[in-house]
Structure 1
Amino acid sequence: MYKLDLPQDLKEAALLEKRRNAEQQRQDRIFNTKVRTIGVDRQALDVQTHDKEIQRETEGKRDEAYELQMTQHDKIASLLDTRQQEEIRNLNRAVDMFRLSYQKKEDRREYDLYDPQSLKKDLPARVSDEDPRCSVSGVQKLMGEDLNQEQRKKAQQEQLREWSLQQQYEWAKGLEDQKMADSLYDKMRIELDQKAMELQEMEESARKAVCTFTKTFNKAQAAEMSKRKELEKKLETEDNMAEISNLLQGDLLSENPDQASSVFGPHRVVPDRWKGMPPQQLQEIKNVQQQQILEQQRLKDEERQKAAEWDRHRVQAARAMLLLERQQKRQEQELRKAQDHINQQLAQAHQAQKTYMDKEVFTNAPTDKFFDQFNKSSR
């Protein structure tokens, strides 16, 4: 019915054969240790060679660009150097012109040291005897010459005459001044003596007046002092008597309870005057204390009753808790028994499942044929 001998597709067969050959070559290359470790990948080397050529070509182009750029920079540097040299020459030329115009050698400070016309411009060695340049070492003027002897003598005589007149005038004036000073001194001594005598007399009279006044004043003071003492003694005696009378008749010694009343109200007293409470107040205090004792006794009885009631409640609560604990223990025992039964059933089921898996499921153990199928392909 069916035609099974169909012609095979040649293209597909060729492709399949090519794939098988490639796989075989790959296996030979991979599983061959010598070829894998020592062999050379030519295709990779060709790629590397091509990359190297491209790199060298790129570097060559880059070097050419650098050379062109370097040449251009050299030209620019040469132009800048030429311009700088020209500017330096112009600057030096300007400096020279400035020196020729404003810094001449005639204007120098030390030009007189090497001036060729210095001898013509200089003064003679000696102008006159008063020339300050005629020093001892210059030998332009000797001590024994005395060229101005006549003028010098006249000047000396005139100077001596003036000195003599001046001395005579000063001596006469000194004598006159001395006489005047002596007369003034004598007059002043006389006036001082007179003033001293007058002052002494005035001092004596003043001393006498002071003594008289002091004596009178002391007498008056003594009389006044005696009167004051008598008056003070009398007043002190009267004050003492009045104080004794007041103390005897006052509320302090009589122990009047009304004296302790305060002006701020009847419920307040003056502490330093209070003599104690009256019998009525003491009785009231005792009554209040008795009432407080009875109240304390009543409170203690009530607390005792409350404590007994709480004790009964506590005993009942403890009994209820004991019964509840017993019931909880019984329930826990029942739950534990049920849990043990369930665990036993689970253990039996687990054991049965394990036996089934070991005897029925895990029976196909791997053989050498299973492991030989590995490492048979390059993929």
Structure 2
Amino acid sequence: MARSLDLIRSALGSQDFKQMYKVDLSPDPKEVAAMEARRNQEKERQSQIFNVRTRLMGMDVEALNSQVEKQKLREATERSKEAAYGTNQVQYDLVAQLLDKEQAERTRRLAKKVQEYREQKQQLKNRCEFDLWDPDQLQNEFPAHLSDIGPHCGPASLQWFSGEDLYRATCLRMQQEQFRYSLERQLQEQQQAKADEKCADMLSDQLRLAMDMRATQLAKLEESCRVAMMSAMANANKAQAAELAERQHCEPQCEQEANLMEIQNQITRDLLTENPQVAQHPMAPHWVLPYCWKGMIPEQQPAIRRVQEAQHSEKEAQHQAEQALDAEWESQAMRSAQAAMELEEQERELCAEFRRGLGSFNQQLAKEQNAQQNYLNSIIYTNQPTAQYHLQFNTSSR
């Protein structure tokens, strides 16, 4: 391959060969500068990292402070720029508002001038075609004829045109008559209203007189009712006084009779006679009413004692049965405790035997592991790494 290249170079010449294969191209200065800057930065970084004297453990406070200062300076610069932009924006807005006002004023003046020109120079009456559509044209012209019969009107002539008013006098006369009729009607309505008002006043006066008479009658009736009420009240008071006197006269006798009746009831009632049947419930004879009970009769006391003795014997038998049951439970608990102790003893023996077996197994396993480790150290791992092997690592800052 090299020989072929030499042959080609000798055949083409050095200049043609360089131009053909572009072997004389110089590197890009920017790329070379960037590569050199990266190399210098890497060397500086390695010197900072691998140099024990200049290496820092932890964070570089000075670098952080410088970064903070740069950030603050950048923020202050941005704020000043924004403030300047805001001031310029306000000025631009004011200028735009002034320009808008000036444009609006200019437009208003122009529109005013146009309107004035139209009012002065372009009136309707000054137009050349105004006579064609003048609304007062027919009123200003002379009528075509003065009556329906005229010597100048032929058989084919029209007798009436729009805008003519040949019956003006008749219309005026009719309007005057209509006005007179309406005026008379208004006078009649006014007279009728006055008459109605007089009639209403008369009716109101009559109503007022009737109301006064009615009030007088009611006052008289009220007075008569008051007199009758007073007389009835006096009669009622007299009757109440007589009744009170009669009651006071009969009250001592009634009180004496009531006292005698109370004494008789106290003597004959069950409270003093101590009737035992009073304490029995009316619906259930075997029940006793506590508020009426006077005590037990002689026949009830032996029966109650017999019931008490039976209850005592029953209670004693129940107590003996409970004692026997407690003794049985205690014996059962003792037997359970003894069985549990025997089981614990067996468990301790099994655990001791298991520990002895485990210890012997661990010793055998330790011997095997030591033999394996000796085999690895003496036969397998004979080439141990040196310090030079470890120094080849961590030679770059990345």
Fold agreement, TM-score > 0.5: no
TM bucket (normalised to shorter chain) is: 0.3 to 0.5
Give me the TM-score of the superposition, normalised by structure 2.
0.39
Q: Flag the structure with larger Rg.
A: 1
Give me the TM-score of the superposition, normalised by structure 1.
0.41
